[in-house]
């Protein structure tokens, strides 16, 4: 999901402790760009430390905030596969593997070969082997660590990967074979076609078991992450990895979890094993610090005393940059494959009635919401759920909008006509009018004064700015609502037992550029747990409802699971794409779990000292892999 879209989820087994050699003394290497110079320090401030707000502690086995993915994939970690970290980098490419996975004819297994010359950063400083990758995958799946939703990305396919315990022990399972140090084979329980994408996730990057075993609990390894990429955490080289006791007796000086992170060049990184197409690794150092004052943060960028302010680029900031001949060259907008939406819990009255859900789609003024977000620079008005960028341009703007209204400003006549078909409009006047109490909840079906329906929201702009628009759309249909503004949107909207009804802070992007992974965690039944990202509870079974404390309507709950499985098990190509297009239409016409209102664009501002700005389609953020710095333009 971005900091922006919280792709909300998260993803780690063990070998015998081995001795670790000291770091070699060779000079760090930088991949040389043909257009930019290597060197300098990239200075980066954020109004919220992303390793803190994610709740996952910067541990790659858990981490789910895409800014952290950007740091991992572009700067610190190399997996079997990666991406080019460009706007068109939508397909995986080989990284430490010699090529993409070699699938069996029936797609029940895949094999990779590891390049020579790949080493861990100090203080481990040994060659990466196939067992380090196997360990990382098993670490994700161990129940001891409880890595959130990540495990299913691997346990759903790899034989014997479920039910693992003991994060400190590497075990042999039938689904992972490492016949030699350079070869790894994954055996599947069902056909798989997207394993190259799954291997590009930070959670699948190699972890040295002799270090990983030192962190059997959550939220600690992140402060000691061992790199395989061009940069590593400053100060790690001073730690003693001969035992867990000596290694954890101090923390690396470059990572203060409450204040800052400093990355420096990894002396064990060989640029010859990488590609400048994937990573240029230009700055010598990355300094990331917190600045809770977003206004001051952006002012520093304008003054070139920092190079990037990672905070929400609001309408006033956009206006300042667009109206300045100098600054207008330093603001960037790129599609980030996200959809922002109002969610409706399909188990809760009155939204267990599809006509009510359709009515709200017609009633909402999407144009006003886009204006409040900052205008066209921040996105396009969403007309359906899967962004067209993930559908290879199909269902583009104006091609499929089942709830179209003039200029996207909402249409109360159409909305009321839909409401009239609902069982909750007993006199058929287009207004929700059933005021019986909902058992176990402090509200009535349609909401009333003092018994309103709660809309879960975030507590910061632009989300709080949306509230009058959303409230008017509900009120115009006879639905009385109030907003609950607080941090942690998904933590509250996804708590099934609390029986949330509506949410207005939701945004979602894919974990890799494919419609299937966009839908998996957010709209399929197997993704529903006590704490879920499927906040609409689409696909909920009666058994799940009973165990989780959710309502279960007499008419059942709509599901896309059968359609999803058909599409997901299709080979990549036109048939698979058509399957996703058809499913998107079905979701909007039949299921109707959301009111999608914006296809997101990531808006970023950088200093005049930044060279080679580009956008990373995988991380949906600034392409750290290709940024450079011109120190002569930096101010102190």
Cα distance between residue 479 and residue 435, in whole Å: 10
pLDDT score at 28: 39
Dihedral sign, Cα of residue 55, residue 60, residue 63, residue 67: positive
Say how far apart CA 265 and CA 489 lie, in whole Å: 36
* pLDDT above 60 for 4: no
The number of beta carbons lying within 10 Å of the beta carbon of residue 49 is: 21
The average confidence (pLDDT) of the chain is 91
Confidence band, pLDDT 50/70/90 cuts, at residue 90: confident
Q: Please, what are the domains in the chain?
A: 41-286 (3.40.190.10), 336-601 (3.10.105.10)
Residue 183 has pLDDT above 50, yes or no: yes
Buried b (16+ CB within 10 A) or exposed e, 439-472: eebebbbbbeeebbbbbbbbebebbbbbbebbbb
Strand partners, 454: 482
> In this model, does residue 31 exceed pLDDT 70?
no
pLDDT tens figures, 592-635: 999 999 999 999 999 999 999 999 999 989 999 999 999 999 99
Predicted TM-score of the model (pTM): 0.83
User: What spatial distance separates the first Cα and last Cα of the chain, rounded to whole Å?
Assistant: 35
DSSP alpha helix (H) spans, 327-394:
354-363, 366-373
Q: Report the Cα 134 to chain-centroid distance in Å.
A: 23
Indicate if the pLDDT at residue 33 is higher than 60.
no
Q: How many residues does this entry show for the chain?
A: 636
Task: Please name the residues in contact with 433: beta carbons below 8 A apart, sequence gap of 6 or more.
Answer: 424, 425, 426, 427, 446, 478
pLDDT at 497 exceeding the cut of 50:
yes
Over the stretch 293-331, which tens digit does the pLDDT of each residue have?
999 999 999 999 999 999 888 888 999 999 999 999 999
* 195 vs 7 pLDDT, higher one: 195
Calculate what percentage of the chain has a pLDDT beyond 90: 79
pLDDT, position 149: 62
The shares of helix, strand and coil residues in the chain, as percent rounded to the nearest 5, are 30, 20, 55
Q: What is the predicted pLDDT for the residue at 461?
A: 83
Distances (CA, A) of 387 to 384, 510, 514, 519, 595: 7, 10, 10, 11, 14
CA angle 378, 384, 385 (to 5 degrees): 80
Distance (Å, whole) CA 526 – CA 522:
10
In three-state secondary structure terms, 190 is coil
Are 391 and 584 within 8 A, CB to CB? yes
296: helix, strand or coil:
helix
Read off the pLDDT band of 499 (50, 70, 90).
very high
Least confident of 20-34, 314-328, 384-398, 520-534: 20-34
Cα–Cα nearest to 595, from 512, 474, 497, 492: 474
Q: Is the pLDDT of residue 24 over 60?
A: no
pLDDT on residue 511:
85
More confident residue, 482 or 20: 482
Over the stretch 107-164, which tens digit does the pLDDT of each residue have?
Answer: 999 999 999 999 999 999 999 999 999 999 999 888 777 666 678 889 889 999 987 8
Angle between helices 354-363 and 412-419 (to 10 degrees): 170
Q: Quick check: 81 and 93 in contact, CB under 8 A?
A: yes
- pLDDT value, residue 55: 61
Does residue 14 have a pLDDT over 90? no
C-alpha–C-alpha distance, residues 252 and 233, integer Å: 7
The DSSP code sequence of 33-76 is PSSS----EEEEEESS-HHHHTSSTT-TTT---HHHHHHIIIII
**Confidence band (pLDDT; 50, 70, 90) for 268?**
very high
pLDDT at 565 over 80: yes
In this structure, what token pair is assigned to residue 581? 């297009």
Where residue 488 falls among pLDDT bands split at 50, 70, 90?
confident
| Residue 8: predicted pLDDT | 34
Distance of CA 273 to the CA centre of its chain: 28
For the residues 286-292, what does the mean pLDDT come to? 95
Reply yes or no on whether the pLDDT at 568 is more than 80: yes
């Amino acid at each position: 999901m971005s900091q922006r879209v919280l792709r909300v989820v998260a993803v780690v087994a063990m070998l015998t402790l081995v001795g670790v050699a000291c770091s070699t003394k060779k000079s760090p290497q930088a991949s040389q760009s043909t257009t930019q110079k290597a060197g300098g320090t990239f200075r980066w401030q954020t109004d919220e430390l992303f390793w803190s707000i994610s709740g996952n502690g910067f541990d790659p086995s858990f981490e789910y905030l895409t800014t952290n993915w950007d740091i991992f994939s572009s700067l610190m970690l190399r997996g079997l596969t990666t991406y080019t970290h460009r706007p068109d980098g939508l397909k995986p490419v080989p990284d430490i593997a010699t090529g993409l996975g070699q699938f069996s004819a029936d797609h029940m297994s895949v094999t990779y070969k590891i390049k020579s010359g790949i080493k861990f950063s100090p203080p481990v400083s040994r060659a990466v082997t196939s067992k380090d990758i196997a360990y990382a995958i098993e670490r994700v799946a161990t129940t001891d660590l409880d890595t959130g939703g990540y495990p299913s990305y691997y346990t759903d396919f790899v034989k014997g990967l479920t039910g693992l315990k003991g994060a400190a022990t590497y075990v042999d399972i039938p689904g992972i074979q490492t016949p030699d140090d350079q070869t790894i084979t994954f055996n599947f329980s069902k056909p798989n076609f997207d394993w190259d994408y799954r291997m590009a996730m930070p959670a699948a990057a190699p972890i040295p078991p002799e270090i990983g075993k030192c962190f059997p609990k959550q939220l600690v390894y992140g402060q000691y992450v061992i790199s395989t990429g061009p940069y590593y955490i400053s100060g790690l080289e001073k730690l003693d990895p001969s035992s867990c006791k000596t290694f954890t007796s101090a923390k690396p000086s470059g990572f203060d979890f409450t204040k800052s992170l400093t990355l420096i060049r990894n002396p064990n990184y060989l640029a010859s094993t990488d590609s400048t197409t994937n990573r240029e690794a230009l700055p010598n150092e990355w300094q990331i610090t917190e600045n809770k004052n977003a206004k001051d943060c952006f002012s520093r960028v304008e003054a070139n005393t920092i190079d990037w302010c990672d905070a929400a680029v609001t309408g006033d900031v956009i206006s300042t940059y667009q109206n300045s001949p100098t600054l207008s060259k330093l603001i960037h907008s790129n599609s980030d494959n996200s959809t922002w939406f109002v969610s409706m819990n399909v188990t809760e009255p009155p939204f267990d009635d599809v006509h009510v859900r359709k009515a709200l789609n017609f009633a909402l003024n999407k144009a006003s919401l886009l204006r409040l977000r900052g205008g066209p620079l921040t996105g396009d008005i969403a007309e359906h759920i899967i962004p067209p960028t993930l559908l290879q341009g199909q269902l583009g703007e104006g091609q499929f909008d089942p709830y179209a209204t003039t200029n996207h400003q909402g249409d109360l006549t159409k909305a009321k006509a839909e409401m009239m078909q609902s069982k909750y409009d007993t006199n058929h006047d287009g207004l929700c009018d059933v005021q019986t109490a909902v058992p176990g909840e402090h509200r009535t079906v349609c909401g009333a004064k003092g018994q309103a329906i709660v809309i879960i929201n975030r507590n910061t702009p632009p989300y709080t700015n949306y509230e009058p628009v959303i409230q008017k759309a509900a009120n115009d249909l006879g639905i009385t609502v109030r907003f609950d503004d607080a941090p942690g949107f998904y933590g509250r909207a996804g708590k099934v037992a609390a029986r949330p009804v509506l949410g207005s802070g939701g945004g979602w992007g894919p974990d890799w550029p494919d419609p299937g992974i966009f839908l998996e965690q957010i709209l399929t039944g197997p993704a529903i747990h006590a704490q879920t990202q499927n906040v609409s509870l689409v696909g909920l079974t009666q058994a799940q409802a009973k165990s989780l404390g959710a309502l279960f309507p007499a008419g059942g709950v709509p599901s896309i699971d059968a359609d999803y499985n058909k599409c997901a098990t299709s080979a990549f190509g036109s048939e698979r794409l058509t399957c996703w297009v058809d499913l998107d239409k079905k979701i909007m016409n039949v299921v109707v779990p959301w009111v999608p209102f914006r296809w997101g664009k990531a808006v970023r501002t950088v200093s005049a000292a930044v060279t080679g700005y580009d956008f990373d389609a995988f991380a949906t953020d600034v392409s750290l892999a290709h940024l450079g710095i011109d120190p002569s333009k930096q101010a102190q």
